[in-house]
Structure formats: C-alpha cells, structure tokens
Structure 1
C-alpha cells in the first residue's frame, strides 16, 4: 500500500500540469470564438450615385406590380385526346395478311391522351379569364389554379382561332383582377413585364422592353407586340404588363431554334383581344368585315414609276362582293384605309378585318394615276376559300414576239380564264438571264405595259416597235387568278 501511494505521488505533478494546460487552452479558444466580424452595410460609392432615389423608386414600382398583378394570374392545365391514324391499317386490310400475321382486325386509328399547361389572367371578379386558344384547343378537361393554390374546373366561353385568343370561365366570386391598359399607346422601348407559368413554375416574373410593334403573325389578323422579355413554354396566355401595372398584351409565341426563350417573344395587343372578346360575349362568335378583293404587294421599282410611297394593289375583285358593289376594280391601288396609309396587303387585311360586317370604310385609291375616295360597306367574311386552278399549259400556236429575252404569243380563252385576265398575251418562254425572270414566269399573262393596253399579239408587236428601247417598263400581269403591277429598269 505504501508503494502504491508513492507511485501516485510521483504522477500527480504531471496530472496537475495537464489540467493547467487544458484550462489555458479553453480560455484561449473561448476568447477566439467570442470574437465577431464587423460587416459593412453600405456601398459608399453606389450610395453617392446621383438620382439613386429614382432607381429605388422604380424598383418599388416593379415590386408593387408583382404584388398587385400576381394574384390575378392563373396557371392552366389541360387534358385532351389525340387521334393518330394507323399507317398499317390499309396494308393489313387484306384477309390473307390478317390470317398470316394473326390479326383479327387492324384498328384504323389510335387515341392518345395529351396533357398541357399554360397561363391566363382574371379580368372579372366573377371568373372570366383571358388566355390563348392554343392552350385549351382540343381539351376535354381544363383546370385553373389560382395563386393561392385554389383549383377550379373551367369551361371555354368562346374563342377566336385566327387571333389565337380564348375566354374561359370558372365558378367563383370576389376574385382578384388585372387592370386593362391601352395597347395603342405602346411604344418601342417601353418596359414590358411577363407573369406566367413557364415550365410549370407558377408566378414567374420577368422584365424586358418592347422591341418592335406590328409584327406579322401566322394569320393575317395577328399583329404582335415584340419584346425581349423572357417567355418560355407555359407562359402562353399570360399577361404582358406595362410600367403602370396594366395589361397591354397576351403572351402568345416565341421565335426560337431550340423551343426555349432566345430573346424574342410576341404578344397579342390587348385592344385586339378586347375587340374579339366583345363579339364573343355578345354574339358567341367573331365576325370580321370583308371587301372581297385579292391583294398584292407593290415593289419599290413599281412605286417609283407610279410616284407613290406605299400602296397595296387590288389584284382581283370578286363577283357580287362589297368591293364590286362599291366600284373597285382590279389594278386599283389602295393608298389609305379610313385615313391611315397602307403599304402591305396585311395592313389592309387587318384594318378591314377589325371592322364589323355592315361597317362603312373609306378607301383612298389610285386609278389611272388619279386619286379618288371610295366608300365600301363591308360584308361578312366567309369561313372557307376555294383553291386556285393551275393555268393551262396548252400553246396558242400563233405568231410570237420576242421582247426583253421573253417569247410572247396570243393567249387563248382557257389561258386567260385560268389566270383571271380579260385579255393579253402569254409568256411562253424566257431566257435565264432575262430581266423578266424577276417579275414573271412562263404561263403568265401581260395585260398592259406603261399604261398601254395589250389586248392581243398585234398590240404587243406595235408596242415593242414603238417603245422597245425604253429604260423602264411598268407591267400589268395576270398570274393564276391574280392581277398585279411589276416594274423593271434596265
């Protein structure tokens, strides 16, 4: 026992030393972890920036837009069915092949379920919603999901397929609604905000600017607002909003090689959608004004020779149409519609289409180098169109005249009728290096040159003898049922 006590006494100084060291280290670590970092809260250089308060005010506006508009933006999910023809149905229709391969009967088609998603926005407290037609087209079931995650089944009240616009309705009350703006006041450079459901990410908010106005869409009645606001699949049908928090458009499409956003997106102007909505809600359908003309573009050379800045050619006037009743003729040039200048066929189409049947429009036209005004009372636009006949290829077999590298001959009645011409000569052939290849092709009819009617091959021969050395020519050409002006210079 005495030996053991001595051994413990010998170790005690070492134990005491270890305890002192541990205690010292504890004090040191305690001091280390009790220290704190003093973080800098202000960026002094930015704080000194002139007019920083204006930028902060803009930021507050953007926050307020998000807070006020997001509750009225909805996500839309759809379920539908697609019918797919069976490419092997006809092949296995033979009884022998059915027995050989063991098929009792080969179905003619298959049905496949489809699912899709898009966006929309509430325009009335009792549940009317604007969206795109392509979002709900062919849907058997439509579910609208609000920002607070409430879900409602929706029905389609009506749609405008040519505009790609649809109105939905859910059974609910006291809903948040968007503020409607005026798309006619939108200008390039304006702020443009999109809110929607891209890739299923509801409540996504993106900011950009208006890049261009009046972009032609896939139909003659689509004139889009173009923006650089990020829009992706699922944004379709959602609102495009200005800096005042008002809806100025319906996001509809993007231009992309990958299917995702690449800097160009398009929206239907809200004023255009409202005009369709008014007819859908009052009539149950959209009706557009119709003149009954076929329109053609006028190239720059032709405009120069006619001494006009713009204009759209009337290539053909339909029988018993509003245009014929008003006195319009083929080869008239429309310069203005209700006082607004036009330069493309789409300009006239959308201006006339935006009017209701029965409305009267005033056209300023150019006829035989003289301007005049003609009033046209519009008809209802038909829903179907007829195909154009191909021109006959039979040759007239009469004397020919060579002019500007082209071979012209007398046109027979079937060739005139096929091209929609009352008279003229037909282009039988043309050299590859001829200037005529720029404006016409074999089978086309020349009805006049430089305001000189060409009723037959004799008239054409006389014209070539008298004016064959001119530097410029203005042709009236009939082709496949259309009549148009084309100018050339050499």
Structure 2
C-alpha cells in the first residue's frame, strides 16, 4: 500500500512540474507550441470561424445618410401680423363653458412667427416646404445649414398637396438627391430631418408604415405613412431613405388629440416634383376633374368575387359638371378611362387629375349590368373646400 501511495505522489509531482514548465514556456515563448507541432508534422488545432453578420442586415448607423441629406434641409421662419381681441372671462364657470368671455376694448395686432422646415431641390434656389407653414406670411426667412440667412419669395402654393415653393438668392446650395419613388416599400427605413420645436437639424428614424394613403375621399393625392416622429416644426422637412435620398416631404401628424401615436404622413417625392414643376412654370397647379364622387364597387359576401373588385362606383354627380353633361349617373360602375383600366376610386381620381382641362376622354362601364360608353369633356378641378386641421 505504501509503495502504491509513493508511486502516485511521484507521478503527481512530475505532472505538476510539467504543467509549471509548460506555463513558463508558453508565457515567454508563446509561439513555441506551433513551431514544435510544425517540426513533427502535426496539424495545428482547428480554430472556430469568425462570426459574420447575417445577410441583409441593416447598418449600425445612418450617420452617412444624414450627412448627405441634412445640408439640404433648411429652417423656415414665416413672420406675419395677426389680429386678436382681448376677452374678459366670466367668473361663473357655467357661463365660461357656455359663452367663453366678453370682448373688451378694441382688437389689436401682434407679430407671430411660424416655424417650419424646407428642402433645397434646385441649385437655382428653389425650396420645397408646406403651404400651411408660409400661408399669409408677410416675411419669410430661411436659415441654411451653414448658418447663412436668406430672404425667401413665394413662387406658388398648392393647398391640395399642402406644398409651396420658395425662391432664395444664394450660391453654393447643397441640393438633395431624389430617390426613385417606385422603389419605396412598406417596411423601408426612413429618416425625418427638420426643425421640430425650433430644434434645428433634428433627425428621427422609423419605417414606411404604408404607401398610397388617401387622407381625403375627394382628393387624388396620396401620401406615405410613417412612424418616424414628426412634430410641430417638421412640416416641410425631408423624409429620406437609408441612402440619404429624398422620398417625401413631411407634412402632418395625427397627434394624441386623436388618440393616435406614431402616425405621420409625407407627400411622395414624385407628386412633389410634379407640383414643383407646375408652380415654377405657372405659379399654380391645374388638375382635371369629371365632377363626380366615387366609392369602391360593392360586392356581396357570397358572390365569390374579391372584396375590392376592379372599377369605381359613382356615388354622386355634380349638377352641371362634366360627368352630368356626359350622362353619367349615380350607381354607374366605371371600368375604363381612356385606354386605362380603373383599379379603384383612388386610381380613377389620379387619372382624371392628370388630364388637361378641355380635353375629351372616353369613359366606359356598367349601368344596371349593361355596358355603356360616354365621352367626358374634362374641366379644371375647383379649389379645395376645406383644409386639414391635423398637427405637423
């Protein structure tokens, strides 16, 4: 027994001594193990492959996109005089709730400044912004990215898209790059750049929540929906993609007053370019109009057809309008305008808006199940009857 214990102690001492020698050699000659293995023809130990980022993974930073786009985004300060009336409130809370207060003294004027944003879209000094930012302004000042201040003149405005074009006189203007609008998809990362609450060059990030949003049943214009934060002062700023290219002009936010969060809208850049070109050329935007309202084609649940069937149903015809003069009636289902099929009511509004007033177009469809054809003489779309009261 003693011999066995002595043998184990002897082996243990040599194992400890061997480990100590190996530690010292590895500490002072770290490559000696590989050299010995190579000398005796032994393969080196396999190394675990380095971890690679999964394919399609987005960048860890969008600083490059911001650096490309931000210099083209400007701050806009629209100054005007507003008239106000001093009011004395009732002491009785019930009367306050019913009548508010009593006017006291003459009305007075005071200066008001509206903050907004804009995007430089031309080296000639054209700036796109929102109409509600500069509406009724007496003086418009533009603060550039490099600190220069320029006085702006109004070229034209369009209430329907809430777009306005300004002109500034300055050199070396950084013009934003325009994206291909057809490449914008729901789920794309977007960045909103602007002047919210006077905090200039603020960048917020989100995704495209949806495209082709209709904010008014009677308007041909559609919008990009995004959850990128858009606040007061962001109006007219840039919505850019991950490459720093312009995809939209930020215009409004459905705020907490409507029990909503993360629902903002931007005007698609293709629509903005069309408005820009017309405002520069003529100072106003002309749209075609047939004088009718439309809705989706109703489909019975057991009909076997898709819920959103092709075409648009006429819901109302304006007396004396082009549609009425052409004999189009409520409940008619319109299937074709010119040489194009009608997909839905929004598609029909876009087609008629693109037509020149005074031009004639063939419209075909179904009336009580029977085919019909009419020739409509397009008129100019009248101004909007009202404007949106949403935030932005």
TM-score normalized with structure 2 length: 0.71
**Counterpart contact for 2:117–2:129, Cα < 8 Å:** yes
Query: C-alpha displacement at 1:149, in angstroms?
Result: 0.9
Map Cα deviations across residues 154-173 of structure 1 (whole Å, 9 max, x no partner).
11110001210000111112
Query: C-alpha displacement at 1:55, in angstroms?
Result: 4.9
Query: C-alpha displacement at 1:123, in angstroms?
Result: 0.8
Pairing of 1:325-474 with structure 2 (within 5 A): 325-337=325-337, 339-344=340-345, 346-372=346-372, 374-383=374-383
Distance 1:315 1:265, change over 3 A: closer
Choose 1 or 2 for highest CA Rg: 1
Distance 1:205 1:304, change over 3 A: same
* DSSP 3-state at the match of 2:242: coil
**In the alignment, which residue of structure 2 is the partner of 1:323?**
323
Cα distance in 1 for residues equivalent to 2:219 and 2:125: 31
**In the alignment, which residue of structure 2 is the partner of 1:152?**
150
Please, which runs of 5 or more residues in structure 1 have no aligned partner?
1-46, 89-104, 386-490
**In the alignment, which residue of structure 2 is the partner of 1:248?**
247
Cα distance in 2 for residues equivalent to 1:209 and 1:228: 6
**In the alignment, which residue of structure 2 is the partner of 1:388?**
none
* DSSP 3-state at the match of 2:331: coil
Please, which runs of 5 or more residues in structure 2 have no aligned partner?
1-48, 89-103, 386-392
**In the alignment, which residue of structure 1 is the partner of 2:78?**
78
Distance 1:232 1:317, change over 3 A: closer
Distance 1:303 1:261, change over 3 A: closer
- Match for 1:165 among 157, 163, 178? 163
Query: C-alpha displacement at 1:294, in angstroms?
Result: 3.9
**Counterpart contact for 2:296–2:309, Cα < 8 Å:** no
**Counterpart contact for 2:297–2:333, Cα < 8 Å:** no
**In the alignment, which residue of structure 2 is the partner of 1:130?**
128
Distance 1:303 1:136, change over 3 A: farther
**In the alignment, which residue of structure 1 is the partner of 2:3?**
none
* DSSP 3-state at the match of 2:228: coil
Query: C-alpha displacement at 1:225, in angstroms?
Result: 0.3
Query: C-alpha displacement at 1:145, in angstroms?
Result: 0.5
Name the Cα RMSD after superposition.
3.3
**Counterpart contact for 1:70–1:195, Cα < 8 Å:** yes
Distance 1:303 1:253, change over 3 A: farther
Map Cα deviations across residues 270-314 of structure 1 (whole Å, 9 max, x no partner).
111222222211122111101122445554449959998254332
* Higher RCO (Cα < 8 Å, 6 or more apart): 2
Cα distance in 2 for residues equivalent to 1:357 and 1:333: 23
Cα distance in 2 for residues equivalent to 1:332 and 1:317: 10
**In the alignment, which residue of structure 2 is the partner of 1:174?**
172
**Counterpart contact for 1:317–1:330, Cα < 8 Å:** yes
Cα distance in 1 for residues equivalent to 2:198 and 2:304: 56
* DSSP 3-state at the match of 2:281: helix
Cα distance in 1 for residues equivalent to 2:230 and 2:314: 38
TM-score normalized with structure 1 length: 0.58
Query: C-alpha displacement at 1:120, in angstroms?
Result: 0.6
**In the alignment, which residue of structure 2 is the partner of 1:118?**
116
Number of residue pairs the alignment of both structures matches:
320
